[in-house]
Amino acid sequence: MIRFENVGLRYGMGPEILRDISFQIPPSSFQFLSGPSGAGKTTLLRLLFMSLKPTRGLINIFGKDRSRISPRDLPMMRRRIGVVFQDFRLLDHMTTYENVALPLRVRGREESSYRADVSELLKWVGLGERMHVLPPILSGGEKQRAAIARALIEQPEILLADEPTGNVDPPLARRLLRLFIELNRLGTAVVIATHDLGLMEQVDARRMILSNGRLDIYD
Amino acid sequence: MIEMPAEVSAQAPAAREAPQERAQRRTAPIVPAGNVAGRALILVIAIMTFLSCLTLGAVSLVRDTASVWQNQIAREATIQIKPSDGLDMEAALADAAAIAGNFPGVKAVRIVDREATARLLEPWLGSGLNIDELPVPRLVVVTIDQSSPPDFPALRAALAGKIQGLSLDDHRTWVDRLVTMARTTVMLGIAVLVLMLSATVLTVVFATRGAMAGNGHIIEVLHFVGAEAKFIATEFRRHFLLIGMKGAAAGGAAAIVVFVTFSFWSARNLATPQADQATALFGNFAIGATGYAGVALIVLVIGALTAATSHFTVVAYLNDLEFRQPDG
């Protein structure tokens, strides 16, 4: 589904932040992306989400060469990828429901066509009663789940989550992890960037460890 | 759709009612309707539109007034007959009026009679003046057909051949001076208007960009949930067009209120000395249909300008998001 071959990335004329990164993300796979702070986890996620271009190497996403995807085609490609940002990025003037429905709304779909789906998904992530609440009133965990729901609403082929348990307590972290496992069971590939070892020990999944710009993979 | 796990099913009753609640609530706009930056932008646009419209009104007033001055003076010429020994002034005046009156391009002639001549001299020589005791020149006012004015040299020659001590003043010197002054005044007015409109354009552009700066996170979120650039730009353009039109309409309406108030004041005080002075200079303080059309045009242009600025800011922001290199 996604393939990186000898990918490198540098800032301007500075040293390479990522060096010779090669890996594949098969459909319906589950993997953790880990490494110390500043190792480049977020940068690698941004490469996966096509919000950055590599300075060298080949990235193939959904069968297309990243360097040949035009800006016009990027939105359609991104719709196949769900992203959960570390800082949630919910819009404060919209309710939880409206935030989760946003990806469908920007595609021009009528609300009546997705109302039931959004409500069902919100119940699935445990926000059924917080549907019409504005984000500033939500707790950190609730915001995280709303962000996850927004990433899932279009049933993406792959979900990228950047430190999804970074702002929640261990019980909620376990619950969110179960959510990701359930999602994976239903066929979505999942990449979770985290440096929470406790979280990774709960699941027997592939681990991609970034260190000094290089990637080691432990299947 | 994804199957619901058992662990969250307990929340179902409250959630089941949610869709009905939603139906009653209007969906929030993608760009939030009102914030401090938006209100400040409306105010800035209103003030700049008001000032631009006032400038436009003033230029329109000066242009109309200059045109009136020019037309009023060009409409008439004056025959002056100086008294001399043996000249029958009344007969000379009648002859001059007859010759001029029959000349092509002359609509009417009017002899300024003794009483009127005395009144003309009253400010200098006082009242009760006997005009026959003084060698006072007499005048014949010739009203000209402005669409086909007479051949002044021919008229002058025809008059001079019959009557001694006669001169014809076609006010050409005055008209030329007034035309020059009027054109200069209008050009200055237009220069001021251009400066004012330029200042308005720049202020609106920078104020819109300032208001847009607070919406960067919305553009980013829309971008990352897969919205096309066209969709994002349309949402912002619509929002800022509304802001621009609100501000510009308020400023334009305030300017029209000022024009109407001045026009009303001018009409109400028509007979007073102050109003006579003002009317003599500026006409009746009405900016006319062209002026109001200009105000409407300024309002539309400023609204469109605000929308266009937001559009280009969004496009630039998206290009920056798409092409910027890693920042950490």
Task: Please list the ranges in chain B whose pLDDT falls under 50.
Answer: 1-23, 325-328
Indicate whether A137 pLDDT > 90. Answer: yes
Report d(CA B202, CA A155) in Å as an integer.
Answer: 46
- Whether residues B217 and A91 touch (CB distance < 8 A) is answered with yes
Q: How many CA atoms lie within 13 A of A140 on its CB side?
A: 12
Q: Which residues of B touch A122 (CB under 8 A)?
A: 15, 18
A134, closest residue in chain B (CA to CA)? B28
Q: Give the CA-trace dihedral at A23, A28, A30, A36, to 10 degrees.
A: 40
Q: Comparing C-alpha atoms, which of A2, A75, A73, A98 is closest to residue A44? A: A2
Helix axes of B216-224 and B229-268: crossing angle, nearest 10 degrees: 150
- Whether residues B8 and A186 touch (CB distance < 8 A) is answered with no
**Any idea how long chain B is?**
328
Looking at per-residue confidence, does A37 or B268 come out higher?
A37
Q: What is the pLDDT of residue B4?
A: 41
Domain map (residue ranges) of chain B: 33-70+177-321, 83-164
Q: Comparing C-alpha atoms, which of B307, B305, B293 is closest to residue B57? A: B293
Report d(CA B212, CA B296) in Å as an integer.
Answer: 26
Q: What is the pLDDT of residue B89?
A: 85
Q: What is the pLDDT of residue A32?
A: 94
How many residue pairs bridge chain A and chain B with CB atoms within 8 Å of each other?
A: 125
Q: What is the pLDDT of residue A101?
A: 95
Q: Which residues of A touch B15 (CB under 8 A)?
A: 119, 122-123, 128-129, 131
- Whether residues B227 and A46 touch (CB distance < 8 A) is answered with no
- Asked if A82 has any chain B CB less than 8 Å from its own CB, the reply is no
Q: What is the pLDDT of residue B272?
A: 67
State mean pLDDT over A198-204.
Answer: 86
Strand order in the sheet with A81-84: A81-84, A158-162, A189-193, A30-34, A206-211, A214-218
> How far does B214 lie from chain A, in Å, by closest CA?
12
Q: What is the pLDDT of residue A15?
A: 85
Q: Please state which CATH number belongs to domain B83-164.
A: 3.30.70
A45 CB-contact burial (10 Å; exposed 0-12 / middle 13-18 / buried 19+): buried
Helix axes of B172-213 and B36-74: crossing angle, nearest 10 degrees: 170
- Whether residues B326 and A17 touch (CB distance < 8 A) is answered with yes
What's the complex ipTM? 0.86
Task: Collapse the DSSP code of A57 into the 3-class scheme (helix H, G, I; strand E, B; otherwise coil) and give the result.
Answer: strand
Tell me the one-letter amino acid at A19: R
Q: What is the pLDDT of residue B248?
A: 92
At residue B188, φ and ψ (nearest 5 deg) are -60, -45
Indicate whether A21 pLDDT > 80. Answer: yes
At residue B137, φ and ψ (nearest 5 deg) are -65, 150
DSSP string for A18-40: EEEEEEEE-TT-EEEEE-STTSS
Q: What is the pLDDT of residue A92?
A: 92
- Asked if A207 and A23 count as a contact pair (C-beta separation under 8 A), the reply is no
**Any idea how long chain A is?**
219
Report d(CA B43, CA B246) in Å as an integer.
Answer: 9
Percent of chain A past pLDDT 90, that is, above it, reads 51
Report d(CA B231, CA B11) in Å as an integer.
Answer: 35
- Asked if A13 has any chain B CB less than 8 Å from its own CB, the reply is no
Indicate whether A142 pLDDT > 80. Answer: yes
Nearest to A106 among B22, B25, B226 (CB): B226
Q: Comparing C-alpha atoms, which of B285, B54, B63, B58 is closest to residue B181? A: B63
Q: Please enumerate in sequence order all residues whose Cβ is within 8 A of that of B77, keeping only pairs 6 or more positions apart, or say none.
A: B141, B142, B144, B152, B168, B169, B170, B171
DSSP string for B240-289: HHHHHHHHHHHHHHHHHHHHHHHHHHHHHTTTSHHHHHHHHHHTTS--HH
- Whether residues A123 and B228 touch (CB distance < 8 A) is answered with no
* pLDDT single digits (tens) A49-80: 888 889 999 999 999 999 888 888 888 888 89
Q: What is the pLDDT of residue A191?
A: 94
First and final CA of chain A: distance in angstroms? 17
Q: What is the pLDDT of residue B50?
A: 92
pLDDT band at residue A103 using 50, 70 and 90 as cut-offs: very high
Predicted TM-score (pTM) of this structure? 0.69
Q: What is the pLDDT of residue B9?
A: 39
Q: Give Rg (Cα) of chain A.
A: 17
Return the biggest CA–CA distance within chain B.
129
